[in-house]
A and B are shown apart, each in its own frame.
Chain A
Amino acid sequence: MKEALNIAGVLFIALTIAAGLIWVERRLLSVWQDRLGPNRVGPFGLFQVIADTIKLFFKEDWVPSFSDRPVFIMAPGILIITILLTFAVIPFGPDFIVFDSNIGILFFLGNSSLGVYSIVLGGWASNNKYSLIGAMRASAQMLTYEVFMGLSLMGVVMMADSFSFNAIVEAQKGGWFIVPQFIGFIVFFIAGLAETHRLPFDIPESEGELVAGYHSEYSGMKFGMFFVGEYLGITLISALIATLFFGGWLGPSFLPPVFWFLLKTFFFICMFILLRASLPRPRYDQLMKFGWKVLLPLSLGNILITGAVLIFFK
């Protein structure tokens, strides 16, 4: 019974935040660009989410005749499934976790690697050169950033001595990992940006060059799935940053732990949106160069130093 409630709660929170982000992102961007944003539908424009969803549902759900039909239809689903699966191992509270896996971080890394298939297959099945270029960029970008996304977390794993998210949160009772693992945090944050292919790293999409990149041919709710998948991805990476580096659900006891967790998550979601509002998209080769030549050595050095310090003090 409790597990069913947890599953329902996690799904409800994750999907509500992801849907609400449509409105939050547009309003926040408008604040940072001295505009007003959507404020017409309902109080503060909150019902914009509903209006957008209804619009997406009523749009023609067109599958191109030249596409690889089954793969084309399957691709957006993969994205949502892999991201929602990862939410299962994230502790929203001390007991508010669907499945307290002892390999939580590996589960997350594996799922995020699987998520790339969604984009690659979607871009390939569209049978359109822009989609294919977008998908190729996505695969190269993910390959690059997946490598040190995992490596940047190894410092945290070493310090907590566990791959389980709940154990990592418990290990931060003495102090958040942001202080000893600052480099890990920076690297993970940037890798997370690239992982969710958010601006400034939205190179697979880059609407200025590739129409809409890998989802050029998608319309209706299939496009909506990619859209929600992106917001779910932001929520997931924000939740992970909060869990791994900022103490997860830990916080003063006058508020329930879930609240602290959501507060921290929401803060990083806002950070993602702020980055979108302020930074331009780098060129493709600049991104790869930055990944391989700066962030990879940085994360390796971080592991080296963390390990050395841990052994020295043991």
Chain B
Amino acid sequence: MLSILRTIWLTFLHIFHKTETVEYPEVKPYLPPRYRGRIILTRDKEGEERCVACYLCASACPVDCISLQATEDESGRRYPEFFRINFSRCIFCGFCEEACPTYAIQLIPDFEMGEYDRQNMVYEKEHLLISGQGKYPDYNFYKNAGVSIGVKGKGEGDHEEKPLDLKDLMP
């Protein structure tokens, strides 16, 4: 009996408590920088596409929502001919970002992707590609990679030594 009255009284005291509701469209919630939201494709510092069309993201994707086709430009640099993400399938797991060897594909803190037409949920490359570097600035895959496709010469990379002349006996 007393506990019932106490319950009523304690509930009544909630008049003086702070409301927990966040009025969403007016007040945006804080999203941490590594929040897994909308997927983007980034460029390196020089403004070139980072993506090398290795298909790792597409094979890592558990729901098969990424589709792309690799091609090469005249210097031999690989890039995707098309890159398509079906966001009506995407589960925002972030596996593609983990699989990506070049930091090209990234998930950003944005979830406001509502559409009236389901077909609009399919993002093409021009929708995905941004002009900036995203979360990992100053990283250029080809500066670290062994292949030379015009970004750097052999042995001129960031963590690279000059190639050895195998015919030379000098140390």
Q: Is B169 an interface residue (CB 8 A)?
A: no
Query: How far does the Cβ of A164 sit from chain B's closest Cβ, in whole Å?
Result: 33
B side interface size, CB within 8 A: 14
| B7 contacts across to A, CB distance below 8 A | 278-279
B14, A31: Cβ atoms under 8 Å?
yes
B20, A278: Cβ atoms under 8 Å?
no
List the 7 closest A-B pairs by CB distance, nearest first: A278-B11, A36-B21, A32-B14, A278-B8, A278-B7, A34-B20, A34-B17
Q: Is B119 an interface residue (CB 8 A)?
A: no
B residues whose Cβ falls under 8 Å from a Cβ of A: 4, 7-8, 10-12, 14-15, 17-21, 23
Q: Is A160 an interface residue (CB 8 A)?
A: no
A36, B12: Cβ atoms under 8 Å?
no
Residue of A31, A32, A275, A278 with most partner-chain B CB within 10 A: A278
17 A-B interface contacts by CB (under 8 A): A31-B15, A32-B11, A32-B12, A34-B19, A34-B20, A35-B19, A35-B20, A35-B21, A274-B8, A274-B11, A274-B12, A275-B8, A278-B7, A278-B8, A278-B11, A278-B12, A279-B8
Q: How far is the CA of A275 from the CA of B5 in the complex (A)?
A: 10
B8, A34: Cβ atoms under 8 Å?
no
A34, B11: Cβ atoms under 8 Å?
no
Closest B residue to A39 using CB positions: B23
Chain A interface extent, by class: 10 to 19
Q: How far is the CA of A30 from the CA of B8 in the complex (A)?
A: 15
Give a binary string over A290-311; 1 marks a CB under 8 Å from any B CB, 0 the rest: 0000000000000000000000
| A30 contacts across to B, CB distance below 8 A | 19
Closest B residue to A36 using CB positions: B21
Q: Is A277 an interface residue (CB 8 A)?
A: yes
Extra inter-chain contacts (17) besides given A34-B14, A35-B21, A278-B10, CB under 8 Å? A30-B19, A31-B14, A32-B14, A32-B15, A33-B14, A34-B19, A34-B21, A35-B19, A36-B19, A274-B8, A274-B11, A277-B11, A278-B7, A278-B8, A278-B11, A279-B7, A279-B8
Q: How far is the CA of A275 from the CA of B8 in the complex (A)?
A: 7
Closest A residue to B23 using CB positions: A36
| A275 contacts across to B, CB distance below 8 A | 8
| B14 contacts across to A, CB distance below 8 A | 31-34
| A32 contacts across to B, CB distance below 8 A | 11-12, 14-15
| B15 contacts across to A, CB distance below 8 A | 31-32
Query: How far does the Cβ of B3 sit from chain A's closest Cβ, in whole Å?
Result: 10
Q: How far is the CA of A35 from the CA of B8 in the complex (A)?
A: 18
Closest A residue to B15 using CB positions: A31
Query: How far does the Cβ of B89 sit from chain A's closest Cβ, in whole Å?
Result: 32
Q: How far is the CA of A32 from the CA of B17 in the complex (A)?
A: 8
Q: How far is the CA of A33 from the CA of B21 in the complex (A)?
A: 10
| B20 contacts across to A, CB distance below 8 A | 34-35
| B11 contacts across to A, CB distance below 8 A | 32, 274, 277-278
Query: How far does the Cβ of B145 sit from chain A's closest Cβ, in whole Å?
Result: 54
Q: How far is the CA of A277 from the CA of B4 in the complex (A)?
A: 12
